[in-house]
Amino acid sequence: MAAHASPRSPDAAPRTTAGLPLLAIVGRPNVGKSTLFNRVLGRRSAIVQDLPGTTRDRLYAQTEWRGIPFRVVDTGGLLGEQLTGPYAGEVAAQVEHALGEADAVCLVVDVQAGPTPADADIAQLLRDAAQPVYVAANKADNAALAAAAADFYALGLGDPRPISAHHGLNVAELLDDVVDRLPAGAAPAADTACRFAIVGRPNVGKSSIVNALLQDERMIVSPVPGTTRDAVDTPIEFEGRRLTLIDTAGIRRRGRIESGPEKASVRRARAAIARADVVAVVLDAGEDVGAQDQHILGMALEAHTGVVLVLNKSDLIADDAELLDRRRRQMRWRTRFVPWAPVVWTSALTGEHLPQILDAALKARGERARRVATGPLNAAVKRALIDHPPAAHRGRPIKLFYATQAEVDPPTFVFFLNYPESLHFSYERYLARRIRDEFGFGGTSIRLNFRKRGAAAGDRGVSRA
């Protein structure tokens, strides 16, 4: 397949992040860019729904074809000179940014709709691009539609390729052409980055924090709750250590979630928490911590992640000492079930204390890898039993024979005793507190498992602490 390319100048050399070449997928809304993105990756990553403008942010992912690794970016819909809607200008800027860093561009068009003025507007932009441009005539689900792809020769970007991203037709051939012309990239390093999810209820400033950390307007920032719909991953480096930032959609309580993209975004945010090492729960420093904030914090605890509490917009109350003190006390009371979580008061607007967020995340990640030897652990448990023995079981003493750390990430401790079913949950919390007092584990959840001695599978449910 021929690809259009303008003469490449030294100033137009593409920028590759993480040493891998980048393929940008662009096109007007609702032509199937996200479907192609997911087809290339072999998984559902972008939100896919038959609604124009569903993907608003740039979504990056790494994949490979024929053993050749590369990155793919899915952009928001681009309407050329006909941009409309509340986020149209921001989306256009996102796409232009993606084009500036791409090594190759795939323009997706809808063969069923035929060439449109918006397609022509985008083609005009791409004819001046330094990178190879491939025209993917999508939704060519049968032979007649495949033949109609020839109509897109009018765009002046070379041979259009009829594909069906939904069914996978001709996508392999498209990728063959793309990787044949991608520049060589460095081999990807092993994934040891701290996976750091940024979550919170809508409009607490999650995307503003990410943009401030990245010094980049990659996420669309708007005062309208729910602006960010996708969980978007971004690799960064801080003080020589790597993190992967995951900026998720705002999470609302189930009864307030709309259908469609917003509902899918909440599912995506939950999934982001599930695959994170550390979660930053963003709170609004100008408001009291509410039930919704506690609910989101509970989701992170259920996933056994590390937790950093981020109080954004602190600049709004910085000059009111009395209000600031009241907010601090109320926040700590409403989050008293995570006394081990570090707190960062920050402002995405002013940048104050922003680096402390990443520093706290990396420290929490380090604590998740902490391992305690069996000898010191049992000595600490013995002291805890002497100081405060557990309540008896039907008049018989509960004996805790020994303990061991079974896992890291998250740290998991297994206790063997005679009556695990009778150990009160308050004593579980006591043991967890004593372990923290002795060994640390600040910033991360720990798990306690209680088993009957000699029973292969006599454990109770896992306790979060």
In 295-383, which ranges are E strands? 306-312, 343-345
Residue 459: φ, ψ to 5°: -85, 150
Q: How far apart are CA 266 and CA 250, in angstroms?
A: 7
What residues does 72 pair with on adjacent strands? 23, 61
pLDDT at 339: 95
- Residues 402/423, Cβ–Cβ less than 8 Å: no
User: Which is more confident, 6 or 359?
Assistant: 359
Q: How far apart are CA 4 and CA 127, in angstroms?
A: 7
What residues does 198 pair with on adjacent strands? 247, 280
Per-residue pLDDT band for 147 (boundaries 50, 70, 90) equals: very high
- Distance from chain centroid for Cα 122: 30
CA atoms within 13 A on the CB side of 332: 11
Inter-helix orientation angle 374-387/425-439, to 10°: 130
Residue range 45-62, pLDDT digits in tens: 443 343 444 444 567 777
Alpha helices in 102-205 (DSSP H): 117-126, 143-147, 171-181
pLDDT at 80: 44
Residue 186 reports pLDDT greater than 60: no
Give CB contacts under 8 A, 24+ apart, made by 369-372: 369/408, 369/409, 370/408, 370/411, 370/439, 370/440, 370/441, 371/405, 371/408, 371/411, 372/405, 372/411, 372/435, 372/439
- Residues 107/122, Cβ–Cβ less than 8 Å: yes
Residue range 420-434, pLDDT digits in tens: 998 999 999 999 999
Q: What is the pTM of this model?
A: 0.59
User: Which is more confident, 464 or 97?
Assistant: 97
pLDDT at 98: 59
Segment 220-233 shows an average pLDDT of: 47
> CATH 3.40.190.10: does it fit domain 10-181?
no
Q: How far apart are CA 312 and CA 314, in angstroms?
A: 5
Tell me the range of 161-165, 220-224, 407-411 where mean pLDDT is highest: 161-165
Alpha helices in 226-353 (DSSP H): 261-274, 291-302, 321-334
Mean pLDDT score across all residues of the chain: 79
What residues does 73 pair with on adjacent strands? 24, 60
Residue 448 reports pLDDT greater than 90: yes
Look up the CATH architecture of domain 194-368: 3-Layer(aba) Sandwich (3.40)
Percent helix, percent strand, percent coil in the chain, to nearest 5: 35, 20, 45
Segment 300-327 shows an average pLDDT of: 93
The ranges of the chain annotated as CATH 3.30.300.20 are 374-464
User: Which is more confident, 119 or 128?
Assistant: 119
The ranges of the chain annotated as CATH 3.40.50.300 are 10-181, 194-368
Residue 257 reports pLDDT greater than 90: no
CATH of 374-464, one of 3.90.1300.10, 3.40.50.300, 3.40.50.620, 3.30.300.20: 3.30.300.20
- The set of residues, in sequence order, having a beta carbon less than 8 Å from that of 326 and lying 6+ positions away, is none
Query: Which amino acid is present at 449?
Result: N
Residue 254 reports pLDDT greater than 70: no
Residue range 60-119, pLDDT digits in tens: 777 888 878 888 888 765 544 444 455 455 545 555 665 677 889 999 999 999 999 888
Query: Which amino acid is present at 428?
Result: E
- What percentage of residues in the chain have a pLDDT greater than 70? 74
Short-list 370, 348, 357, 363, CA closest to 446: 370
Residue 145 reports pLDDT greater than 80: yes
pLDDT at 73: 83
User: Which is more confident, 95 or 355?
Assistant: 355
Handedness of CA 86, 87, 90, 92 (dihedral sign): negative
State both tokens at 253: 């309580």
Residue range 169-180, pLDDT digits in tens: 999 899 989 998
CA 64 to each of CA 69, 106, 178, 179, 185: distance values in angstroms, whole numbers, following the listed order = 4, 16, 11, 9, 12
Residue 465 reports pLDDT greater than 50: yes
Rg of the chain in Å (alpha carbons): 26
Q: How far apart are CA 316 and CA 174, in angstroms?
A: 52
Residue range 341-354, pLDDT digits in tens: 999 999 999 999 99
